[in-house]
Amino acid sequence: MTPKLCLPFPNARTRTRTRTPTHTRIPPKSSSLHPTPPQLVTPRWYHNFPDYEIASLQLQLLRKEVLLLSCASSRSLTDARKIIESCLDPPKARSVELAEAWLRQNKLIEPNPPQPLRTRRPLPPQPTSFGRLVDALPIDIPGAQLVLLGAKFGLLEEAVTLAVLRCTQPMVLKREPNKAAEYEALVRRYGPTSARTARADGFAEDEVLANLAAFLSFQRWYCDVQRHHRIDAGEPVSSDASSELKGRHVLLQNLRNRAELNGALVAVGKFNVARGRYEVRVLGGQWAGEWILVRRANLVEEEEAWCRERQLSHTSLLAVARTRAHVLDTLYRLSPPILQQHLGLRRPQPAPREAELTPQAGGPEDPPPPSLFSLLVSPRSARLSRKLLQTLRKAVQPGVAEEQEGYVAVATERHPCFFHLRKCCSLGDKCHFSHTQAEDRRPLCRFAMQGNCRFGAACKDRHPATPPVTVAEGFAELEELQMQVQGGFGAMMPLFASAELTGAVCVGGDANCLPPVDYSAFKSLLLLGEGDFTFAAALARKCKPKKASRRRKSSAAVEASPLALWATTDQTEDQVRRSHPGRSADALKSLRDHGAAVLFGVDARELDYQKALDQVESVAWNLPFSGVEQAEPNHLMMRAFFGRLARNALSRADSGQSPPRLFLTVSINQLADWGLLAAADDSFLQLDSVHKFEPADFDGYAPVRNDRDEPFDAGQVRTFGFSFDEPRLHASDPYVP
Measured from the Cβ of residue 250, the count of other Cβ atoms closer than 10 Å reads 21
Number of domains in the chain: 4
CATH of the domain at 266: 2.30.30
Could you tell me if 550 and 648 lie in one domain?
Answer: yes
Predicted confidence at residue 1, as pLDDT, reads: 43
Could you tell me if 560 and 415 lie in one domain?
Answer: no
- Residue 508 within any structural domain of the chain: no
Could you tell me if 263 and 388 lie in one domain?
Answer: no
What 3-state DSSP class applies to 600? strand
- Residue 28 within any structural domain of the chain: yes
Q: What percent of the chain has pLDDT over 90?
A: 30
Residue where a domain terminates, one of 269, 285, 306? 306
Mean pLDDT over 647-673 rounds to: 90
- Asked if 41 and 20 touch (Cβ cutoff 8 Å), the reply is yes
Could you tell me if 534 and 682 lie in one domain?
Answer: yes
Residue where a domain terminates, one of 287, 306, 325? 306
Could you tell me if 488 and 388 lie in one domain?
Answer: yes
Give the global pTM: 0.81
**What is the rounded distance in angstroms from the CA atom of residue 375 to the CA atom of residue 191?**
11
| Range of lowest pLDDT (117-121, 154-158, 291-295) | 117-121
- Residue 512 within any structural domain of the chain: no
Could you tell me if 442 and 529 lie in one domain?
Answer: no
Mean pLDDT over 60-68 rounds to: 85
Could you tell me if 18 and 99 lie in one domain?
Answer: yes
Q: Of the ranges 160-164, 463-467, 502-506, which is most confident?
A: 160-164
**What is the rounded distance in angstroms from the CA atom of residue 172 to the CA atom of residue 165?**
8
Mean pLDDT of the chain: 80
Could you tell me if 585 and 722 lie in one domain?
Answer: yes
Say yes or no to pLDDT of 371 above 70.
yes
What is the strand order of the sheet 661-667 is part of? 597-600, 564-569, 524-528, 618-622, 661-667, 717-724, 685-692
- Structural domain boundaries, residue 650: 519-731
Say yes or no to pLDDT of 396 above 70.
no
**What is the rounded distance in angstroms from the CA atom of residue 10 to the CA atom of residue 55?**
7
- Residue 456 within any structural domain of the chain: yes
Sign, CA torsion 89/4/132/417 = positive
Predicted confidence at residue 118, as pLDDT, reads: 57
Predicted confidence at residue 269, as pLDDT, reads: 84
Could you tell me if 484 and 557 lie in one domain?
Answer: no
| Residue type (1 letter), 409 | A
Predicted confidence at residue 91, as pLDDT, reads: 84
Predicted confidence at residue 520, as pLDDT, reads: 85
Q: Of the ranges 349-353, 409-413, 593-597, 706-710, which is most confident?
A: 593-597
CATH of the domain at 716: 3.40.50.150
Could you tell me if 277 and 424 lie in one domain?
Answer: no
Could you tell me if 573 and 720 lie in one domain?
Answer: yes
Could you tell me if 527 and 486 lie in one domain?
Answer: no
Q: Of the ranges 121-130, 150-159, 545-554, 599-608, which is most confident?
A: 150-159
**What is the rounded distance in angstroms from the CA atom of residue 196 to the CA atom of residue 429?**
28
More confident residue, 453 or 245: 453
Predicted confidence at residue 44, as pLDDT, reads: 63
Predicted confidence at residue 285, as pLDDT, reads: 82
- Residue 134 within any structural domain of the chain: no
728: left (phi over 0), alpha (psi -120 to 50) or beta: alpha
- Residue 228 within any structural domain of the chain: no
Q: Give the Cα-Cα-Cα angle 242, 238, 261 (nearest 5 degrees).
A: 40
- Asked if 90 and 5 touch (Cβ cutoff 8 Å), the reply is yes
- Residue 150 within any structural domain of the chain: no
- Residue 507 within any structural domain of the chain: no
Say yes or no to pLDDT of 432 above 80.
yes
Beta strands in 356-500 (DSSP E): none
Q: What is the helix (H) or strand (E) element at residue 568, kind and residue range? A: strand 564-569
Say yes or no to pLDDT of 473 above 50.
yes
DSSP string spanning 257-293?
Answer: TTGGGTT-EEEEEEEETTTTEEEEEE-SSTTTT-EEE
